[in-house]
Structure 1
Amino acid sequence: MSSEGGGDVLARLKANIEAVTKDAGESLDWRTFEEAELVLPKQLTAAEQTHIVYSLVAIIPNLQQDPTPAANLLVRLLQDYSYTDVLSLGSSNIPWTDGLAVGEHMVSFNGLMLNLLEKATVQLTDAAHVASMLDTMLALVRLWLCTPDTGIASRASKLLRRLLEVDREIQSDPGAPVRGGQGLVWKRIFGDRNIYGTIFEATTLSGPSSLKMSKNQRTLAQARLLEWLPTIGSMDWSAIARSHHDDIESTYGVKEGLLEFAALRMVDYKDDVLMHRCLVDFYSELLLSNRASSAGVASATDSPALRYMIASGLHARTGAIYLQTPGSSADPLEAMFLYGPAANYIATQMPKQVTDHLHGALDLSPAKWAHAESPKHDLHLMASLPRQALLPAGSTAAQWNQTPLSLLPSRSTSADVLNTLATILRGPDEEPMIFPGGWVTEVDDGVRQTEAAAARALYYNYLSHDQRFWNNIATHADTVALKDLALSAINCLVAVTTAKWSTKPDMPLPTTIATPDHGHLAILSPPALEYALPYLLKPAQSFANIVGGRGDTESAAYQIATAKFDAVRALHDRIQSQAQEQPEEGFEEILRTLNKRLAEGPLSREGEVGGRVGTMEL
């Protein structure tokens, strides 16, 4: 021990561990453990570290209190240990199975055991060793599906995927030699009756189960299984599609395997619209995950996942939600909730066909855009497409004309068009889907970053080919007589201001205009600077002499003024954050101007004079 202060911490730590060893009811000194976690790992000698590790391994299983401080310190001390090093502590000394027990009071203990098992995802032999521990694997699967803690469930799910990935057998061609792992983890999960049966027991709503779980808990388990299966299918489609234990499967009304159970039998989609939506998202992810990875597939539309979806009738059922055919949904609100995921499913299955369809459906004259009934279903489909599917191959006019986004007008337009633009240009929605009990779906950060970068590229490409865009948006936003159009124009402005963008070098960007990384900086750059900012800074239009007046929250003028005020606030907040991060960039003047506008409120006195009413330029 090289530090005097560290020596004091070590002495106090040893004394507390010794006291707890003698009496399991003795309290852990949280402060000492927290100090030790920060100070000791870099100062302990090898002998001292080994002694502390063995001492902690010995006391944790017998603690009669929250083991968090001891578990956290042990994780820190074992940070550089390999799985082999962990085993050298003695498998009998490590409570693998007990540490994976389900319970709110077990979270820190669960985290410790998962941390140790995660070390086995590097080497084939380590994964094989984990597979040999039947009780541990059973406890891990049960923990994944049954724990109330979302973080633990997510880590357990990833651990199972990584163990399967490192252990999978790889055969490029039928006659080629098998490479990779021995497949022992696969055999354990799918071949062991107890583990395989536990998956059914934890997720069934009507079949037999020895697990005491509420309906909400089973719904969480279902969502976790639906999130896990597509990735496993991309590694080995037959593992999820074929039967492994026909007697277990038949008990739950299944003739084949886990895929049939999850896709067709498990979810009560008629009475649970949230799980129905989760199920439709599962279908999309199943297609996406198994489209490019399946060996021997002739085309993107000829994958085992798509063939299964068609053969089982799920393809037609999901398509009917998008097409809104009679009987596809009895509840109009439910149909609206499911429409976006169904459109995404269709887009995932055939993006080229979808974009070709949109080209035909959205190729309308200016008069039809402004006055005819809006093609709202096709606009909804476009907004549900992955943004990458809308990207042009390059920034030339000919390449831009190949994307259906080029057909959306900003001048002779409609509220539906502008709201669609706002949705696309804002970027991906970061809000996760929340299930009863607080579990949330995982967000694939790579997908989100790609979508965010695509949104930025689409904005600048659209702007470079419609440089009157912000002039038109400002005009529409100031047209009080057409409330819906004005509100949708303001929605566009807010969407860009608060855009969730990122940057990627492979995204096509125009070279004729500035392309800042953030939406609020785009508002401060030409051509938005010439139109959007002056619109925000000038007083709101008023209908005071005609209807409602200042105090009438139902009036068009008041609603538009309030939306405009919120847009000013959004821009102010983004620039203020930027100024705090980069104080040398000189945002003080624009912040003073925005603060002055905010101080005036939604309807300033100047805006009331004359009772002005905007009219749309036709």
Structure 2
Amino acid sequence: MATATPPTFTELNEHLTEVLSNPSTSILNVRLLETFTAQLPEQPTTHLTGTLVPLLAKVLAVVNEDPTPITTLLQHLLTTTTFTELLAFASQPQTLQLLSAASPAVRILGLSILEKAAAAPSEVGIVASWSDVVQKLVEVLLCDSDTGVASRAADVLVKLLAADLGVGLLWRRIFEDEGVYGTFFRLCSWKGEELPEGKKAKTEAQGRLLQVVARMAALDFSAVSTSAFPAIDKKYAASEEACGGLLEFAARWAVDADGDVMMHMVLLDFYTLLLQSTKALDYLETSGLHGATAGRYIAPAAYSDDIIDQQLLESKAAEYLATYARLHPTKLFDSPAPKIPDGRNPKRRRMSLGTGPPPPAKTLIDVTLERIEQTLKDTPQHPHTPSMDILMAMPPSVLVTDLAKKVVAMIPLSPPQTAYIDALTAVITKQGSSSEVYDNYYATHTDMWQKINSYVSTLALRDVVLACMNFIEKLLVAQDSTGTYWGAKEIVNAPNVMAFLITPPQRFSGARDPMSTAFVVATRKLEVLETVLRVLGRAGDEVPGAEGWKVVVQERLKVGLWGNGAGGEVATMEM
């Protein structure tokens, strides 16, 4: 057990004093530093911190070797020290020096010190008064060559801003200090200054900008969507009318979306992050970014001639739509269909010039379901993953519409595809939904259970077997809005499903190996049986024959994974 004063304290103190006296010739005793760090108590005493922290800080400033052992020890010593208490050796110029150091370990130390200020708004206020430190913090999070340091800087800034909500000193420093505010534009815009590492550094800065702006928008949308310096906004934007603040810059002008498909994908990820906020969604809709993003899934060929670009951006647009469906289900029926560019599609252009009454206005949900329907028609044997992701995100209110039920009914079960089985599982067993989607699918695929029984008995199709098991289990626990276990009734009545579940699995050579397919499937089968017993106990009279099945399942569970019979094992041994 660590003592209050580690036994190597005196030796370390003397060693550090020697290094400080002769920095050019002395060599750090790394082993001594690591040993002392390991001996530290969980809460270092005031004596230890008061003696060693000033000494270590001085050594850190003169040492020419890797400073990581020193910074690690310092962070341990400062565990319980407040930001205010650190000001004696981590003042404004010293903190700036730490953030500007060549060593990533030293920069991390500087960030750790700043992070302590998040403990109290008054301490955040001290940081806010250090304009050059705040500007350096922004530079580090955008342009540090070490990804870990940049990520930590972003975390520290967001943590400080969260602690400053309601007071606003740091928010004002960032958004009302021209030098700090302009740093985001200067370092991220292609119109800004060139960075030492060229295009790579610029695109990395842009990606980091998008991440931190999304996090700031979640804290205070108004701050990121307005500007105290419209001249800066206009200088770095492609439009003279752009005065929408840092959000507008990040969402529309920072990234060269047309010239860099990878950065375009990052930009679409940014839009998806913004969906967490209703205000941000309003911005995306009014700016046209919502429709343009949805359009890249609805009609990918209308936005690009490159098939690879189409597929990459379609996938990200699908993630956006799936997130939109999950987070804002009530808006699905109100959101209009996006306007699709006609320029790359002569057929569409000719049709748009026709006469006669315009077709009825469609909603976003209409055209999205039509696109999913088309992918199922085009490639029924090869699941279109983006489309299945969107379909699985649809709320019950959408899935019970005629068009949605038609689309779901098109999902094939043959040949077996885990993506299709997973999609069926998600749409049929939505929490609180009725059996309507299931009933419609079963009416169309009357051989559904025959196929599932065939698949779960084919160990060579390991992933398919497990997907089918998951389907059975999810259906077992499916309840409607009244709490009725409608799915359990279907499982009990489904042909041969219960017989399969209660039949002990056949054992093969190597079946006891936890990694073998036989073992994994047998274990999953037993888990599903446990779910059966639990649900039947809750459902009661809702499921005809529940009491009888409970007895059968209990008896099966008593005999364990492989059952009582040894025939399979003996046969294997005799082979």
1:112 aligns with 2:109: yes
Mapped to 2, the partners of 1:125 and 1:150 lie a distance apart of: 30
2:94 is the alignment partner of 1:122: no
Closer, same or farther in 2 for the Cα pair 1:411/1:309, shift >3 Å?
closer
Q: AA paired with 1:161?
A: V
1:193 and 2:165 matched? no
1:52 is matched with: 52
The aligned amino acid for 1:571 is V
Shift of 1:74: 1.0
How has the CA–CA distance of structure 1 residues 14 and 410 changed in structure 2, closer, same or farther, with 3 Å as cutoff? farther
The AA in structure 1 aligned to 2:81 is Y
Q: How many residue pairs are counted as aligned between the two chains?
A: 474
Q: Please identify, of 467-476 and 208-217, the stretch whose mean Cα deviation from structure 2 is larger.
A: 467-476
Indicate conservation of the 8 Å contact 2:413/2:421, yes or no: no
Question: 1:265 Cα deviation (Å)?
Answer: 1.6
Rounded Cα–Cα distance in structure 2 between residues aligned with 1:158 and 1:84: 20
CA distance in structure 1 between the partners assigned to 2:431 and 2:368 by the alignment: 20
Partner of residue 148 from structure 1, selected from 133, 137, 145: 145
Within 5 A, what are the aligned runs for 1:395-544?
408=408, 413-415=413-415, 418-422=418-422, 472-473=451-452, 475=454, 491-493=463-465, 529=501
Q: Is the alpha carbon distance of 1:3 and 1:377 closer, same or farther for their aligned partners in structure 2, counting shifts above 3 Å?
A: closer
Quote the Cα distance in structure 1 between the aligned partners of 2:468 and 2:59. Answer: 56
Q: Does 1:381 align with 2:387?
A: yes
CA distance in 1, matches of 2:387, 2:504: 28
Mapped partners of 2:302, 2:369: distance in 1? 27
Q: How does 1:227-238 map to 2 (within 5 A)?
A: 227-238=211-222
Deviation at 1:589, TM superposition (A): 6.5
1:281-340 CA deviation, whole Å, 9 max, x = no partner?
Answer: 211221x2221xxxxxxxxxxx4x344334433233212211115531211222122223
Q: 1:456 to 1:11 in 2, by over 3 A?
A: farther
Paired with 1:108 and 1:529, the residues of 2 have a C-alpha distance of 56
2:295 to 306, 320, 323: 320
Cα distance 1:405–1:29, how it changes in 2: closer, same or farther (>3 A)?
Answer: farther
What amino acid does structure 1 have at the position aligned with 2:389?
Answer: A
One-letter identity of the residue aligned with 2:104? V
Q: Deviations over 1:147-203 (max 9, x none)?
A: 1222222221121112222223xxxxxxxxxxx21x211121122222222212222
- Counterpart position of 2:284: 309
Conserved 8 A contact 2:3-2:41 = no
Does structure 1 retain, via aligned residues, the 8 Å contact 2:19–2:59? yes
C-alpha displacement of 1:79: 0.6
The equivalent of 1:283 in structure 2 is: 271
Is 2:83–2:113's contact at 8 Å kept on the other side of the alignment?
Answer: yes
Q: What CA distance in whole angstroms lies between the structure 2 residues aligned with 1:306 and 1:246?
A: 23
Deviation string 1:512-544 (CA, Å, 9 cap, x unpaired) is: 999xxxxxxxxxx9787569966x9699xxxxx
Partners of 2:456 and 2:468 within 8 A in 1: no
Matched residue, 1:442: none
Counterparts of residues 7-46 of structure 1 (less than 5 Å): 7-25=6-24, 26-42=26-42, 45-46=45-46
- Offset of 1:382 from its aligned partner? 3.9
2:567 paired with 1:568: no
Partner residue in 2 for 1:440: none
CA contact (8 A) 2:6 2:36 kept: no
* 8 Å CA contact 1:144, 1:152 repeated in 2: yes
Shift of 1:343: 2.2
Q: 1:12 to 1:528 in 2, by over 3 A?
A: farther
Instruction: Please list the CA deviations of residues 540-579 of structure 1 after superposition, one character each: whole Å capped at 9, or x if unmatched.
Output: xxxxxxxxxxxxxxxxxxxxxxxxxx9828938999xx9x
**Structure having the higher Rg:** 2
Q: Any conservation in 2 of the 1:17–1:56 contact (CA below 8 Å)?
A: yes
**Alpha carbons 2:98, 2:110 under 8 Å: kept:** yes
Query: In 1, Cα distance between the equivalents of 2:376 and 2:313?
Result: 28
Identity of paired residues, percent?
26
Cα distance in 2, alignment partners of residues 455 and 41 from structure 1 = 52
**1:214 aligned residue:** 198
Conserved? CA contact 1:379–1:417, under 8 Å = no
The amino acid that maps onto 1:568 is T
Letter of the aligned partner of 2:283 in structure 1? Y
Cα shift at 1:369: 13
Instruction: Name the aligned partner's letter for residue 170 of structure 2.
Output: V
Q: Deviations over 1:216-250 (max 9, x none)?
A: 12211111111121232233323222233233323
CA distance change for structure 1 residues 463 and 401 in 2, over 3 Å: closer, same or farther?
closer
SS in 1 for 2:141: helix
Q: Measure how far apart 1:208 and its partner are.
A: 2.9
Taking the aligned partners of 2:186 and 2:519, their CA distance within structure 1 comes to: 49
Distance 1:52 1:74, change over 3 A: same
Distance 1:474 1:283 in 2: 43
Q: Structure 1 residue 269 and structure 2 residue 218: aligned? A: no
| Matched residue SS, 1:289 | coil
Is contact 2:128-2:170 (8 Å) kept? yes
In the alignment, which of 153, 162, 165 is matched to residue 165 of structure 1? 162
Partner of 2:542: none
CA distance change for structure 1 residues 370 and 14 in 2, over 3 Å: closer, same or farther? Answer: closer
Partner of 2:135: 138
Q: TM-score, normalised by structure 1?
A: 0.62
Q: TM-score scaled by structure 2? A: 0.66
1:492 partner letter: V
C-alpha distance in 2, partners of 1:369/1:207?
41
Give the match for residue 174 of structure 1.
Answer: none
Using the TM superposition, give the Cα deviation of residue 278 of structure 1 relative to its aligned residue in structure 2, in angstroms: 1.3
